[in-house]
């Protein structure tokens, strides 16, 4: 089970420094959503606020952006980016009851949806706070087309005798496929406008860089169930797998993300509560 108590100030700082890839993915999502000057926007799972601050620049002084995240250490860093039209609060995607109904033009979740077990509840909570015809957008890891590093991870677990720990190794991320996203949108009162998988290629210099980002982006969950001996055994096998993908630029990783955008429609009466 994913824990929210494993985060540390050091991990939060590493994520703030190494989160550029997710920031770039988020910029594409914001473009897809058509965020414009004057919009009121909610960033669910804002982390350290890099993308949230970018959105605040787009909406300008007549707009407003709120970023929420359940990790206090990340919100503490995010608040250093606060300005007149930008604020941050500690908060959970599953509980937006403190926010006024129909108060946002756009709500987005960038690299967050795969951490949330009760996705239908989250989307219904967002539905309540969206204005009529408001838009929700998400980028999330794809179940039907996993990242190449995930395949390398599974092989490393098997080769190090740790195959039975494959879920514990990542804190159990709750991935979905495009069909599930489409169904979730329909059941929570949205009209799907965009559903696609996009592929990105990234490079890292070493296995330690890969593991450092995995640990910081999973707020300490990655490999947290392992003993020191198991962690070292896994690292050796993982390094061997990753080195097979190295080229002149470094360790090559292919990431596949679902980008989805939907518009608020009427929530069916049977599921309105």
Beta-strand relationship, 190-204 and 250-264: antiparallel
Per-residue pLDDT at 270: 44
Q: Give the rounded percent of residues in the chain with a pLDDT score beyond 70.
A: 95
Bridging pattern class, strands 250-264 and 246-247: antiparallel
* pLDDT surpasses 60 at 136: yes
CB-CB contact of 153 with 169 (8 Å):
yes
34 pLDDT above the threshold of 90: yes
Across residues 20-33, what is the average pLDDT? Answer: 97
Cβ–Cβ under 8 Å, residues 236 and 27: no
Q: What is the pLDDT of residue 171?
A: 43
- Better-predicted residue by pLDDT, 201 or 270: 201
Other CB atoms within a 10 A radius of the CB of residue 205 amount to: 11
Q: Helix, strand or coil for residue 223?
A: coil
Mean pLDDT of 4-27: 95
Cα separations (Å) of 31 from 27, 136, 159?
A: 6, 12, 42
Residue 133: pLDDT above 70? yes
What structural domains and CATH numbers belong to the chain?
A: 9-143+172-203+255-266 (3.40.50.150)
Distances in Å between the alpha carbon of 131 and those of 72, 134, 137?
A: 28, 5, 14
Give residues with Cβ within 8 angstroms of 268, minimum separation 6.
Answer: 189
What are the phi and psi torsion angles at 195 (to 5°)? -145, 110
Higher pLDDT, 163 or 6: 6
Instruction: Please give the share of the chain, as a percent, with pLDDT higher than 90.
Output: 88
Rounded mean pLDDT of 150-162?
A: 93
Helix (H), strand (E) at residue 263 = strand 250-264
Indicate the range of 167-171, 238-242, 255-259 predicted with least confidence. 167-171
Average pLDDT score, the chain: 93
Burial of 165 (C-beta count, 10 Å sphere; 0-12/13-18/19+): middle
pLDDT, mean of residues 203-218: 95
Q: What are phi and psi of 132, to 5 degrees?
A: -55, 130
pLDDT, tens digit (0-9, with 9 covering 90-100), for 248-272 = 999 999 999 999 999 999 765 444 3
Lowest-pLDDT range of 68-82, 152-166, 249-263: 152-166
pLDDT for res 170: 46
Give the strand pairing for 104-110 and 40-44: parallel
What pLDDT, on a 0 to 100 scale, did the predictor assign at position 163?
85
Q: What is the mean pLDDT of residues 89-118?
A: 97
- pLDDT number for residue 166: 56
pTM, full prediction: 0.94
Q: Is the pLDDT of residue 44 over 90?
A: yes
């Amino acid at each position: 089970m994913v824990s929210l108590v494993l985060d540390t100030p050091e991990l939060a700082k590493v994520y703030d420094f190494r989160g550029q890839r997710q920031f770039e993915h988020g910029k594409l999502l914001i473009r897809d959503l058509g965020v414009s000057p004057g919009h009121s926007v909610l960033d669910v799972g804002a982390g350290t606020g890099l993308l949230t601050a970018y959105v605040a620049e787009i909406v300008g002084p007549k707009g407003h952006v709120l970023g929420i995240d359940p990790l206090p250490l990340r919100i503490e860093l995010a608040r250093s980016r606060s300005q007149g039209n930008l604020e941050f609060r500690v908060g959970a995607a599953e509980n937006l009851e403190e926010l006024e109904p129909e108060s946002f033009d756009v709500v987005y979740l960038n690299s967050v949806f795969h951490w949330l077990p009760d996705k239908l509840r989250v989307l219904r909570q967002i539905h309540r706070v969206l204005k009529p015809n408001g838009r929700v957008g998400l980028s999330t890891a794809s179940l039907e087309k996993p990242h190449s590093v995930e395949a390398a991870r599974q092989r490393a677990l098997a080769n190090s005798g740790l195959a039975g720990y494959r879920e514990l190794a990542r804190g159990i991320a709750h991935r979905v496929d495009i069909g599930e996203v489409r169904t979730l949108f329909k059941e929570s009162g949205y009209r799907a406008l965009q559903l696609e998988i996009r592929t990105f290629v990234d490079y890292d210099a070493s296995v330690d860089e890969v593991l450092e980002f995995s640990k910081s982006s999973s707020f300490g969950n990655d490999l947290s169930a392992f003993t020191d001996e198991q962690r070292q055994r896994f690292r050796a096998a993982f390094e061997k797998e990753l080195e097979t993908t190295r080229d002149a630029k470094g360790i090559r990783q292919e990431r596949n993300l679902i980008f989805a955008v939907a518009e608020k429609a009427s929530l069916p009466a049977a599921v309105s509560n």
